[in-house]
Structure 1
Amino acid sequence: MTQKGRPILAAFQFLSRFPVKAELDFTPELLKQSVKHYPLVGAAIGLAVWVGGVLSAQALPVFPAAVIALILWVWLTGGLHLDGWMDSADALLSYRSREKMLEIMKDSRVGAMGVLACVLLLLLKASLLTSLLAAGSLPAGAALLTAPVWSRWFMARAMSKWPTAREGEGLAGLFRGLKAKDTVQAAISALVLTAAGLSLTALLPGDGPGLLRLGVYFVAAPVLTAAAGSLAAGKICSKLGGLTGDTYGAMNEGLEALLLVLAVVVFQTA
């Protein structure tokens, strides 16, 4: 294993269940080096979910196919970000003090707000995947090759731009000192991967979304991610005094859903 390859393998091992067989020591330095490869992990997850959804739709009605695609999506992430979504919902919707909210996030148990937030998020994602698969395999591919890429790019941005809530403790503390160039490299990677993914859906035979819609989505996806993600991060910081590992995952989940909503709006008449 080359030294340059270790951060890529670390990103895949940390963020997914892809069978990456490598013995890695997850030091803070390696974790920070791996961040620039987060969009690549998102692209791999999106590609796998797209293929799973399209194949399922060949044998099943659209809604069951969408649910199977969503199950695959959750499995590929190991529920890592969903766990952060639920913990963040339990804490931020508790209207407690900052200290109590941080304590709630540490609790391994899931409360009522976390369960409700998870159910509603999965229902939303299932409905959006249904709409995209109904519009065609190519519109679904355009969305799935884009949304997981930019949501993971924003995690990299959040790690470098906003402070941590626990002053270096917890998972978020391992990424302290992340260099700005790493987030820039993540952004470049996200742009290249998005261009490649959307180009693929434009070149494949079939009823695609059209170049104009693909261009709109290519521009709108990163802009919406940066704007909505920054708003969410700012709101969370105002309550917690910073971000945590759970909130990184929560923002990833929320942005994925938001970018799927954007895809449905852009591609629904394709």
Structure 2
Amino acid sequence: MTKWGQAAAAAFQFLSRFPVNANIDYSPTLFRQSVKFYPLVGAAIGLVVWGGAAGFTYLLPPLPAAVLTLILWVGLTGGLHLDGWMDTADGILSYRSREQMLDIMKDSRVGAMGVLASTLLLMLKLSLIYSLLINGLNYLGLLLLPLIWSRWFMVHAMATWPMARGKDGLAGKFNGLDKGQIWATLLIAIVLSGVAASIAPLIYMDNHSLMIALLGFITLPLAAWGAGTWLARRLNATLGGLTGDTYGALNELLEVVALLMLVLLHNHM
């Protein structure tokens, strides 16, 4: 397998539950090389979720269809990012010292704050998916964008903010990303978003679909960048850097923010 093939396979094995049967010798170098494919993993998950949402909506009323869509969404990630969201909530909302917060986040057990945070997040995500489904499937091609840009921002965060535990822990495996990998990740995210945003106008061939797609292509990345930057700065100020758990928390927040933007665009255009 080529170096790029190994990096892509590593990204899919790490971030998803797609059956990628490849024997890979994981190393910090391979972890760093794999990040450029994170938006591609997001697009692949989004494509399956989109197809699932279309099928569920055809067979069922919108609410159970939305629930099954969310189950599929979480299942394809193995709950990886949701686990980071819960661990981060347990640590940050404990209001302890920095060292104690990091210790709490490392603990595999989930506390009350983690349960509350995950419940509220999933309720909000479910309501947003439901809102999109009851308005029809015309713009569900844009459903790929939240998954693409949330994963792009994780790479941006790795390169922008320091590691709270230095080279220790999962985050330390990504320490030292070079600019080439960062720019490659951004380019892949832009190309994938352009393809996703063009799906609805190509199918429905009307000006309204084109306007929604264009605004989604522009506003969703900006919303993800703005919300992600705000949270990453807060986490950095509190923890003295970011961790693997906080990358997952960032991903979860940005998926919800981007979904919210989609609902706003659909309801006000």
TM-score interval for Structure 1 and Structure 2 normalised by the shorter chain: over 0.9
**Residue range with higher mean Cα deviation, 237-246 or 130-139:** 130-139
How far apart are residue 136 of structure 1 and its match? 1.4
Contact 2:197 2:213 in 1 (8 A): yes
Q: TM-score, normalised by structure 1?
A: 0.97
- C-alpha separation between the residues in 1 aligned to 2:200 and 2:56? 19
Q: In structure 1, what residue type is equivalent to 2:250?
A: M
Distance in 2 of aligned mates of 1:91 and 1:114: 9
What amino acid is aligned across from residue 95 of structure 2 in structure 1?
A: Y
Q: Separation in 2 of the partners of 1:74 and 1:126?
A: 11
Mapped to 2, the partners of 1:203 and 1:252 lie a distance apart of 29
- For 2:260, the equivalent position in structure 1 comes to 261
Q: Are 1:154 and 2:153 an aligned pair?
A: yes
Aligned residue number for residue 228 of structure 1: 227
Structure 1 match to 2:215: 216
Aligned sequence identity (%) = 54
Structure 2 gap segments, 5+ residues each: none
Deviation at 1:214, TM superposition (A): 1.3
Deviation string 1:120-160 (CA, Å, 9 cap, x unpaired) is 11111110000111111122231x11000000000000011
Contact between 1:209 and 1:267, CA under 8 Å: does it hold in 2?
Answer: no
| SS of structure 2 residue aligned to 1:146 | helix
- Distance in 2, Cα, partners of 1:206 & 1:112: 49
Matched, 1:188 2:187: yes
3-state DSSP of counterpart to 1:164:
coil
Q: Offset of 1:208 from its aligned partner?
A: 9.0
Query: Any residues of structure 2 matched to 1:87-126 within 5 Å, and which?
Result: 87-126=87-126
Q: Is the 8 A contact 1:151 1:256 kept in 2?
A: yes
- Counterpart CA distance in 2 for 1:222 and 1:101 is 30
Contact 2:200 2:209 in 1 (8 A): no
Match of 1:170 in 2: 169
- The one-letter code of the counterpart of 2:98 is R
Deviation at 1:205, TM superposition (A): 3.9
**Partner amino acid for 2:169?**
G
Measure, in 2, the Cα distance between the counterparts of 1:61 and 1:208.
Answer: 29
**What SS does the corresponding residue of 2:197 show, helix, strand or coil?**
helix
Aligned pair in 2 of structure 1 residues 207, 86: CA closer, same or farther (>3 Å)? farther
Measured at CA, do residues 197 and 223 of structure 1 come closer, stay the same or move farther in structure 2, by a change above 3 Å? same
> Quick check: 1:138–1:209 contact (8 Å CA) kept in 2?
no
- Aligned residue for 1:155, secondary structure, equals helix
Deviation at 1:180, TM superposition (A): 2.0
**In the alignment, is residue 197 of structure 1 matched against residue 188 of structure 2?**
no
